[in-house]
Amino acid sequence: MKREKSASLKARYLPISKVSVLDMRRMYEIYSGYYENISLDLFCRDMSEKDGVFLVAERSTKRVVGFSTMKTLDMKVDGRPVRGIFSGDTIIEKEYWGSKALHVAFFFRVIREKLRHPVRPLFWLLISKGYKTYLLMANNFHNYYPNIEGDCEKLAGLVDNYCDTLFRDYYCSERKLLDFGSGYTYLKSDVAGITDEMRKNNEKIQFFESRNPSWQRGTELPCIGEVSYSLMLGYPMALWLKLRRKSAQVAAPVIANN
């Protein structure tokens, strides 16, 4: 049932100026269901600073069930221009966790950005207060920071760069963490918690918690991943293989009972 619901979703990108008041209120309704310390005023002000948003909706009813905000940045590294795609708040209602609709829409947006400037390095920038967001990067990118393997340290400077641009007053460069204070939004206690079993079975979750030990009160771990041509070519195949494995797992009990 969950897989069927996930397959019934569609995601699309809209410039922030094209987002309707009704969709904005619906996004806030979803957001308030998963986060503490929020207000409609703060939510709207944050939205106004973004370039656009991915809306995730049911195909049949058009009802919005999730969203992800986006902002593009032009930066320089050693005098060389690079471009960053910053992902802000991202949330999908729990019954639709596992859907790839947002991933696919985001992937095509990244391709569009890359083709606009084909020789300019492109990076995905995100800040993570929960392990799920971190795993989106750690499970899909070849070159990313922070990395459990300890490589890609060269990307640490770009983290400093975009955090200084977007969050100068809240960034601790020594700890590589963003701390917005006690009044900042944080995940509700029953959302994306980390159990001892998860720590034991997933070293990337362990690593995330070691880098952001105060995640429960809303500190954010800044991350960055390189959008290379090899990633763009390999991701569709990797996604197809994941979906095929899930389909096989769902079908197996049916076959066994025949």
Same domain, 192 and 239: no
pLDDT in tens, 80-118: 899 999 988 888 998 888 888 998 899 889 989 998 989
**pLDDT greater than 70 at residue 169:** yes
Same domain, 224 and 234: no
**How many independent structural domains does the chain possess?**
2
Beta strands in the chain (DSSP E): 9-15, 35-36, 52-58, 64-77, 80-92, 122-128, 144-145, 171-172, 177-178, 186-187, 221-226
Same domain, 244 and 188: no
The amino acid at 162: Y
Both tokens assigned to 42: 């703060």
Same domain, 132 and 203: yes
Tracing tokens 């084909």 back to the chain, one arrives at: 118
Structural domain boundaries, residue 99:
2-229
**pLDDT greater than 60 at residue 143:** yes
pLDDT in tens, 11-69: 999 999 999 999 999 999 999 888 877 888 888 888 999 999 999 999 989 999 999 99
Same domain, 176 and 65: yes
The CATH code of the domain that includes 143 is: 3.40.630.30
Question: What integer pLDDT is reported at residue 89 of this predicted model?
Answer: 84
Mean pLDDT of the region 187-198: 73
Tracing tokens 């829409």 back to the chain, one arrives at: 105
Mean pLDDT of the region 218-244: 76
The amino acid at 170: Y
Q: What's the burial of 179, exposed, middle or buried (CB within 10 Å: 0-12/13-18/19+)?
A: middle
Question: What integer pLDDT is reported at residue 252 of this predicted model?
Answer: 46
Reported pTM: 0.81
CA 184-189-193 angle, to 5 degrees, is 110
CA 227-233-68 angle, to 5 degrees, is 50
Question: What integer pLDDT is reported at residue 39 of this predicted model?
Answer: 84
CA–CA separation, 233 vs 241, rounded Å?
14
CA–CA separation, 149 vs 21, rounded Å?
44
Ramachandran sector of residue 182 (left: φ over 0; alpha: ψ -120 to 50; beta: rest): alpha
- Count of alpha carbons within 13 Å of 212, Cβ hemisphere only? 25
Same domain, 96 and 220: yes
**pLDDT greater than 90 at residue 212:** yes
Output the DSSP codes for 208-247.
HHHH-TTGGGT-BEEEEEE--HHHHHHHHHHHHHHHHHHH
Same domain, 205 and 133: yes
Phi, psi of 36 (to 5 degrees): -100, 165
Question: What integer pLDDT is reported at residue 239 of this predicted model?
Answer: 58
Task: State how far Cα 183 lies from the chain centre.
Answer: 22
Tracing tokens 């060269």 back to the chain, one arrives at: 154
Same domain, 198 and 249: no
Question: What integer pLDDT is reported at residue 83 of this predicted model?
Answer: 94
- Count of alpha carbons within 13 Å of 174, Cβ hemisphere only? 0
Same domain, 214 and 245: no
Mean pLDDT of the region 151-176: 89
Same domain, 148 and 79: yes
Same domain, 146 and 236: no
Both tokens assigned to 8: 């019934």
